[in-house]
């Protein structure tokens, strides 16, 4: 049958035959189900899709997807994924990582993947704890958090993954929540359509070692009153009735206001702005002083590493015909031992 005549794929076709082994109630189950459904909806060819992971609970992901997969070293998934994409740019390459895997030992690889704008989809499961190694504090744990490795409370200020990705130059940056299925699916579809590095932070509940870390956002009240759903071109309003809004303060910070009293002062969301300044300001917002932004912070089109690589190679082929001997000798040679 021709590709156009193939029946649509289903979520089950992206589920492998491996037993899913996460703790009962883990948020990873919801993320896995959503990713499988999105892959099926988008019709991603299983033989042209690759899931790359590092080390951690989230990094079991490749085993549970009926696609190609690569379980790599701790923190090194972005580097391996970059090599896969450069070797075969036609592949759809997804990196699945966690807050410890990506932002501790893997922080170097993470920021360089962002700045290079490799056409990767990076999903960071953020549960603000080390789950696989039994509950130590992670780079995103809140200050004062007591864990086996910080019995008196963590002193480290936590990383803000969205702000870090924006600062590293990511061209697509978004945030969603494991149990917000429809929102997560929509966010992943937008990430899949983006050409370049698409980074999605996913708040993920670890019900064993850090249960309820995002409770103020995920309960019935929080998902309405404590969330700011980012929608392109629409006012930045929040609250049960959208009664609050955001405006630009004197110092460039975002300030809350009564949206009903001053609707014209409410900013509109523009993820396609050339400068990431406004997106970075949104990334600083957090509960309880502000709502937590969810959705796409930034989405701009810039040349990808693969495109630049091909442009450079094509110019070299055109302007400098291949000469292996000359390449090996290099532009500067000298002889040793002659007077």
Rounded Cα distance between 120 and 7, Å, is 27
Rounded Cα distance between 37 and 22, Å, is 19
pTM score over 0.75: yes
Burial bucket for residue 144 (CB in 10 Å: 0-12, 13-18, 19+) = exposed
Query: In sequence order, what are the beta bridge partners of 71?
Result: 53
What sections of 117-180 are H helices per DSSP?
A: 161-167
pLDDT tens digits for range 192-241: 999 999 999 999 999 999 999 999 999 999 999 999 999 999 999 999 99
Q: In which residue ranges of the chain is pLDDT below 70? A: 1-5, 321-322, 338-339
In this prediction, residue 2 carries a pLDDT of 43
- Local structure of residue 264 (DSSP, 8 states): G
Using only C-alpha atoms, the chain has a radius of gyration, in whole angstroms, of 22
- Strand ranges of the sheet holding 172-177, from the earlier edge strand across to the other edge: 68-71, 49-53, 92-98, 120-126, 198-203, 172-177, 292-299, 227-229
Rounded Cα distance between 223 and 180, Å, is 9
**Structure token pair of residue 286:** 């957090």
Kindly provide the b/e burial profile for residues 32-61, where b requires at least 16 CB atoms within 10 angstroms of the residue's own CB.
bbbbbbbbbbeebeeeebbbbbbbbbbbbb
Nearest to 52 by CA among 37, 40, 63: 63
* Region for residue 218 given its phi and psi (left: phi exceeds 0; alpha: psi -120 to 50; beta: otherwise): alpha
Rounded Cα distance between 112 and 326, Å, is 31
CA distances (Å), 300 to each of 191, 296, 303, in order?
12, 11, 10
Rounded Cα distance between 235 and 37, Å, is 30
What sections of 209-320 are H helices per DSSP?
A: 215-218, 222-225, 277-283, 305-319
In this prediction, residue 220 carries a pLDDT of 94
Q: What is the DSSP string of 72-94?
A: --TT-HHHHHHHHHHH-TTSEEE
What sections of the chain are H helices per DSSP?
A: 28-42, 61-64, 77-87, 99-100, 107-116, 161-167, 181-193, 215-218, 222-225, 277-283, 305-319, 324-329
Write out the H or E segment, with its range, that includes residue 298.
strand 292-299
* Region for residue 184 given its phi and psi (left: phi exceeds 0; alpha: psi -120 to 50; beta: otherwise): alpha
Q: Hey, what domains does the chain have and what are their CATH numbers?
A: 3-213 (3.40.50.970)
Sorted by sequence, the CB contacts under 8 Å of residue 216 that are 6+ apart come out as 222, 226, 287, 288
* Region for residue 25 given its phi and psi (left: phi exceeds 0; alpha: psi -120 to 50; beta: otherwise): left
pLDDT tens digits for range 276-288: 999 999 999 999 9
């Amino acid at each position: 049958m021709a590709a156009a005549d193939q029946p649509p794929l289903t979520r089950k076709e992206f589920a492998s035959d491996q037993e899913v082994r996460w703790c009962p109630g883990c948020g990873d189950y919801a993320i896995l189900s959503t990713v499988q459904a999105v892959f099926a909806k988008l019709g991603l060819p299983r033989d042209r899709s690759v899931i790359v992971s590092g080390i951690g609970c989230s990094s079991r992901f490749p085993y549970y997807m009926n696609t190609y997969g690569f379980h790599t070293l701790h923190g090194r998934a972005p580097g391996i994924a970059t090599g896969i994409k450069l070797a075969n740019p036609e592949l759809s390459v997804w990196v699945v990582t966690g807050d410890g895997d990506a932002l501790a030992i893997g922080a170097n690889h993470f920021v360089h993947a962002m700045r290079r704008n490799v056409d990767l989809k990076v999903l960071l499961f953020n549960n603000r704890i080390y789950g696989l190694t039994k509950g130590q504090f992670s780079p995103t744990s809140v200050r004062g958090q007591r864990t086996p490795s910080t019995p008196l409370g963590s002193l480290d200020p936590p990383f803000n993954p969205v702000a870090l990705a924006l600062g590293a130059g990511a061209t697509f940056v978004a945030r969603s929540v494991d149990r917000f299925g429809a929102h997560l699916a929509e966010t992943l579809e937008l990430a899949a359509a983006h050409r370049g590095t698409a980074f999605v932070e996913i708040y993920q509940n670890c019900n064993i070692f850090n249960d309820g870390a995002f409770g103020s956002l995920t309960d019935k009240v929080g998902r309405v009153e404590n969330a700011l759903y980012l929608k392109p071109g629409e006012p930045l309003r929040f609250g049960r009735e959208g009664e609050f809004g955001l405006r630009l303060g004197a110092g460039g910070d975002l300030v809350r206001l009564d949206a009903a009293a001053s609707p014209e002062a409410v900013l509109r969301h523009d993820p396609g702005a050339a400068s990431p300044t406004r997106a970075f300001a949104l990334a600083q917002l957090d509960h309880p002083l502000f709502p937590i932004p969810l959705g796409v912070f930034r989405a701009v089109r810039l040349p990808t590493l693969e495109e630049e690589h091909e442009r450079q190679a094509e110019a070299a082929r055109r302007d400098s015909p291949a000469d292996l001997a000359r390449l090996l000798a290099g532009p500067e040679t000298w002889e040793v031992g002659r007077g």
